[in-house]
Structure 1
Amino acid sequence: MSPRALVIDTAFVGDVVFTFAATARLAAAGFAVDLVVRAGLEPLAACGEGVGRVFGLDKRGAQHSPLSTLAFARALSRAGGDGRSPRRYDVVLGAHPSLRTALLALCIPADLRVGWRRLGYSEFVKRPYRFVDDRHALVDRVLCGRSARPDFGHGLPRLAIERLGERLNRTPSSVPAEAVALLPGSRFATKRWPLTRFRSLAAQLRDRGIATVAFGSAEERLEHGPLDVSLDARGWTLPETAAALSMCIAVVGGDSGLLHLGRAVGTPAVAIFGPTDPLRLPIDPGRLDLYRDDLKCRPCSPHGAAHCPRGDHACLEGLDVERVLSALRSLGVG
């Protein structure tokens, strides 16, 4: 029987995408890999490379308290077994630094627990600065033991695109050929390139005969209003969005989960950075990073924020459309 691994990452879309790098390596090493994600992300998580079973943790609802998290752990440990005796994992990986993740890891029967903090884990790994590298460091500890030095030469996260088909309510055939994907949204306002720039970019691409598709949540569609694009796909499910992104010739957006999803399906990307640091992302020849290097105030946040500390959002207001068009030309677009 294959050894069993449980990976826990209950953060946002981009974090779960990064964690696919860990699930792929564990599966390649012979592990049967289960994944715990934030409730609502299960359909996307099921398409991650190397992922077997997926469990959703409703940490803003049914499992918001420590006691309900313990109940979730008990139910998870029995899932797929005889329903009475706990199922033991060979290894549990905590790919999110929260106390909730540590508590969940501690309560799952396992021979080895590896995480980025001491509490809740039998093995502690100092977290590397770059995302994806940090996931690989956890796997290195599992596969190579305590003497392992971080190996930053491992692969980038990938979606198993062939798994997307069974999770689509819409056909991606509605996506125009040779289209550029525009991603105007982000959970944090300070990471959003101004919407007026996206509108201008869409217009200039249209003048060059290049189709555009907007992606994002239904809430963003309501908040931002209409965009003059060839197809407005805001509100599509994450598997539908992933399938459509794989058909585009390039992605343009801020440091957001959908940008990382676009790279996970192999589409070249122009990444527009404001308050966050591009050096935290994995080295990726398929991604061109744009940012202002003349501002001493940036990067100012690991995740972004609701408001600019300076009040002028100069890091993104100062990035014009021509820089993005130039980056797209470097990718062979336009």
Structure 2
Amino acid sequence: MRGIQVGQYVKGPKELKVTELPDPTPKPDQYLIEVHAAATNFFDILQIQGKYQNQPPFPWVAGVEFSGIVLATPSASKSPKFPVGSRVFGASQGAYATRVCAAEHELLAVPQGWSFADAAGLFITAPTSYSALVLRADVKAGDWVLVHAAAGGVGLAAVQVAKAFGATVIATAGTPHKLEVARRFGADHVVDYRDPNWPDQVKKLTPKGRGVDIVYDPVGLVDKSTKCVAWNGRILVVGFAAGSIEKVAMNKVLLKNISLVGIHWGAWAKFQKEGIPVVWNGINKLVEQGKFKGTVFSDKEFVGLESVPDALVALGGRETWGKVVVKIPQEGGSKL
């Protein structure tokens, strides 16, 4: 197969090279997948530099999120969930290659009518946003929801989930183009968070200036968001894309009866396995109803493993929106 193997840490994505590698050998509980698309993530950039919390032993193939076709089922399974030829997507180390191995719990069926590119970016963003808004914040019709970095992968997923449940969405982003993208995916109002007065702007948009009921924050804007959240509001702490872990003035949390709610989807498999099918059943229902669609960055196309470095550079430079996905053509394979 061809893939991007990491034998030593690199300074950045531009140092990554595509080489010929032996085909991966699936463990008894793993499927062998022909990769047709791979999604990029910020943690991919950290991992190749040796800065991520999960660092595989050298050598390893970069990339985690993918979609493709089942080539072989687990040798230890008498009744595999996905027969040979199934269209699947998932997350397993080694996605930046033409073939990858993955266990059954790391895979799901590609939604009907979805392309490989759309599905490749679904495994992390969709459940993060759905579990946060639905299971952690109990979003409902009539709620006002503020989504920060709304043009990002989890942001666009959050906009769609909140709208599907009948909420009014205020989206923030840092450029006019990204604000327009957020509108395109359903945001009712948009606010530029580069404006220091954005909390006031958000509050004025809400009925009688009461503030928003839910804040979805993957950036690190919790403290400022306390200024525009309503009484009994919920602030979802999703991540710290701004680069630093902020400190919050807890008197604000006390005075407004605010709930600060953490959400780490990656830990659900360890602490709350029973919630995983609930989340995915909910997502699949939204997909079937046409209320949730793929969020693939379409301003520029990335095709072939050789374009992975450029895709990661674009992602790391904040030049993109949605999910940056690399299409990986396969000789004689299905269309992307």
Q: Tell me the TM-score normalised to structure 1 length.
A: 0.37
Task: Name whichever structure is richer in helix by fraction.
Answer: 1
Task: Name whichever structure is richer in strand by fraction.
Answer: 2
Q: Tell me the TM-score normalised to structure 2 length.
A: 0.37
Q: Which has the higher contact order (CA 8 A, sep 6+)?
A: 2
